[in-house]
């Protein structure tokens, strides 16, 4: 997480925490898939999310680019680390 935070800092996403796993990705968390969540401004997230207006023409290019950068940074960090990537422990998988 420390390495990932350093890579994401230039994008304003330097604070990273373990991902909680909401309804969309809860089954992955339950299976123990490691998750992360960059801390970002989500104040407009539910303005159109999962509504009839949630269409590609509403995409904010800058926000999309930031998201792509965050995922790319995650993949780069994982590829470069020697540390093993372990599953979420059973005791931490439910109730999030």
pLDDT in tens, 5-54: 888 888 777 777 766 666 778 888 889 988 877 777 778 878 888 899 99
In a domain, 93, yes or no: no
Question: 33: domain range?
Answer: 2-84
In a domain, 49, yes or no: yes
Angstrom distance (rounded) from CA 86 to CA 88: 7
Q: Which tops the pLDDT comparison, 21 or 58?
A: 58
Q: Which tops the pLDDT comparison, 18 or 4?
A: 4
How many domains does one find in the chain? 1
Measured distance between the N- and C-terminal CA atoms of the chain, rounded to whole angstroms: 20
């Amino acid at each position: 997480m420390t390495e990932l935070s350093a890579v994401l800092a230039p994008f304003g996403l330097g604070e990273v925490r373990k991902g909680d796993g909401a309804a969309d990705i809860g089954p992955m968390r339950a299976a123990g898939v490691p998750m992360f969540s960059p801390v970002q401004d989500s104040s407009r997230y539910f303005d159109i999310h999962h509504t009839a207006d949630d269409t590609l023409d509403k995409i904010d290019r800058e926000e999309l680019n930031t998201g792509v950068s965050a995922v790319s940074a995650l993949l780069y960090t994982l590829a470069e680390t020697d540390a093993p990537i372990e599953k979420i422990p059973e005791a931490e998988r439910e109730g999030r």
